[in-house]
Structure 1
Amino acid sequence: MISVKLTAQIFRVVAIAEAVTWLALLIAMFFKWVLGHEEAIAIPGMTHGIVFMVYVVVALFAAWRLKWNLVTTGLALVASIPPFGTLVFEVWAKRKGLLGGTEAPSKVAAA
């Protein structure tokens, strides 16, 4: 079985990859719509589509493995729709300690 820590790491890598492919697709769309290069979105579009599907599968696996509630799982899935939403979700989940508990901010007691 994949460890909780490895699950969180895989989720984070795929979330970042999804955002990077969104950026590539947005740049390609500029080339298509502004500069008239019709073929510009073929490879970035397919790449983003594949990474998007991988993100959804990994998010569902992470939700199961990291014991996310339904709201958190829904937020992870919805985050894949707007550009760079997966990065926003990843940072939020990291701060909330939802990525394996290893990234949660520690509370230091005042001495």
Structure 2
Amino acid sequence: MTKLLPLFRITAVLEGLSYILLLFIAVPIKYLQDDPQFVKMLGMPHGLFFMAYIVLAVMLGAELKWPNRTLFIVLVAAIIPFGTFYIDKKYLRNENA
């Protein structure tokens, strides 16, 4: 097992959680209540988790010799709500064995 895998799994969960909070809580509050405070509060951490997810995905993909298709799916999952949770279940849990 690679040392990057646990770090990537944690980053994937944090990225997914921050994205869901941003999309389904902060953005509706911003537009329905005209209060951008939560978007400002969640935007920066989400951006950092997103960039870390992309970098770690590329590094892990190279280390585990993922096919290009798998790497593409893992990268695209970062922009789909709940996508990182799917990636963790489908691709990453099996790598622990």
Q: Structure 1: state its 5+ residue gaps.
A: 103-111
Q: Structure 2: state its 5+ residue gaps.
A: none
CA-atom RMSD in angstroms: 1.5
TM-score after normalising by structure 2: 0.89
Q: List structure 1 segments (4+ residues) > 4 angstroms apart after TM superposition.
A: none
TM-score after normalising by structure 1: 0.78
Contact preservation (8 Å) 2:5, 2:92: no
Q: Percent identity?
A: 32
Per-residue CA deviation, residues 34-60 of structure 1 (Å, 9 max, x unaligned), is 121023201201111111000000100
Structure number with larger C-alpha Rg: 1
**What residue in structure 1 maps to residue 32 of structure 2?**
34
**What residue in structure 2 maps to residue 56 of structure 1?**
54
Cα deviation for residue 83 of structure 1 reads 1.2
Count the aligned residue pairs.
Answer: 96
- Please give the alpha-carbon distance, in whole angstroms, between the structure 2 residues aligned to 1:94 and 1:23: 20
- Greater relative contact order (Cα < 8 A, sep 6+): 2
Greater share of residues in helix? 2
